[in-house]
Amino acid sequence: MKHKWVLIGFCGLMVLSALFSALRRQRAYPVVPRMGSAPETRFAPRQLPIVGSNPARQFSNAIADAVEKVMPSVVVIRTEKIEYQTKRNFYGFTYRVPAQLAGEGSGVIIDERGYVITSRHVIAGAQYVEVVLNDGTKMPAKLIGDDKSTDLAILKIKGEGTGCPAVEFGDSDALRVGEVVIAIGSPFSLQSSVTVGHVSQKGRRFQILPYEDFIQTDAAINEGNSGGPLIDVDGRLIGINAAIRTDAAEKGVGIAFAVPSNLAMVITKSLINKGVHEWPWVGAAFGVVRLDDVPELQVRQVWRDTPAAMAGMLPGDVILAVNDIEVANEYDVYRIIFNHAVGETLRFRVWREKEKQLEFELLLQEFPGLTS
């Protein structure tokens, strides 16, 4: 009898448990009865975020789009040259032995006719130059002209052109510090490598070239990147990668420099048309002078028979603007001058003797002794 009660009690417990579970399910998932033509109640699905609205994804896509746009214009430049090494034999006599040296750098197509811009040091002394297109096609090239002051050079691919698109030039003067930039090249023979960084600063000078107005970037640039493009997020050329800063062990420290595209464009046109670049000048020197602790950009010297002298510019004139662009120091003035070509005209607005404002038009002449 005792066992029957235990069994009945156990069965009763199971029934109550099942009933309780059914009631819980009924509360959790209510059944809505259909009454006449009343609409059926539906649960709204969970809204997933749209991938395209993700700012990180949009930024990533912009980088990838810029790279895809420019990559067909980026090339590898390979060089060969013979150098003679002096050796000494067992008897103490010296003799020369030829050694074939190979080099490699980067470049970018700037004209569909096959013109390529690169760094001068990439092809310096080369007796044979070969351009490797993005698809692996190898084509011989010849030097058209170079410029020592900026370490730039122009090559021409032999033949009727490459069929590859030319890179689009951007406005390097419009760059802002902090903007994202992309470097493309072939560091350590790794063709078509891409790195991303920022504009760390503009107008850098560290006295390795006669004229310097470098864009500083933290985009990784290494051996083999020289001559390759630095582009913005719209895929426009804003610089030619030129140099890196190294530590005592000759290792990169995340500081690289590029020649601004606006300057490169002026030099490119000269080298293609003439084979040399004629640097412009106005025949005056400028400098910042502090009067009553207020800095003024003044004309410091004017040379005779120069554009500045013929226009009537005098030492002591305070420079306010050049071509309606406000200038703060002599480097601002030189940047504007050097971004123009010989034969072009610049407008200088000056303040004379704190009494009157004058405007001069100066026809740019060739800088004596600075032709590339």
Burial status of residue 356 (CB atoms within 10 A of its CB: 0-12, 13-18, 19 or more): exposed
Q: Looking up tokens 């013979």, which residue turns up?
A: 82
Show the CA angle centred on residue 134, arms to residues 130 and 138, nearest 5°: 30
Say which of 73, 200, 226, 261 is annotated catalytic. 226
324 carries an active-site annotation:
no
- Long-range pairs of 326-331 with CB within 8 A, sequence gap ≥ 24: 327/297, 328/288, 328/295, 328/297, 329/288, 329/297, 330/285, 330/286, 330/287, 330/288, 330/297, 331/203, 331/205, 331/213
Q: Looking up tokens 């951007």, which residue turns up?
A: 170
121 carries an active-site annotation:
yes
- How far apart, in whole angstroms, are the C-alpha atoms of residue 319 and residue 325? 11
- How far apart, in whole angstroms, are the C-alpha atoms of residue 273 and residue 111? 13
- How far apart, in whole angstroms, are the C-alpha atoms of residue 77 and residue 224? 9
- How far apart, in whole angstroms, are the C-alpha atoms of residue 201 and residue 42? 58
Within its chain, how far is the Cα of 319 from the centroid?
31
Say which of 146, 151, 213, 317 is annotated catalytic. 151
226 carries an active-site annotation:
yes
Q: Which two tokens stand for residue 181?
A: 């930039």
Say which of 121, 173, 192, 340 is annotated catalytic. 121
> Which residues are marked as active site?
121, 151, 226
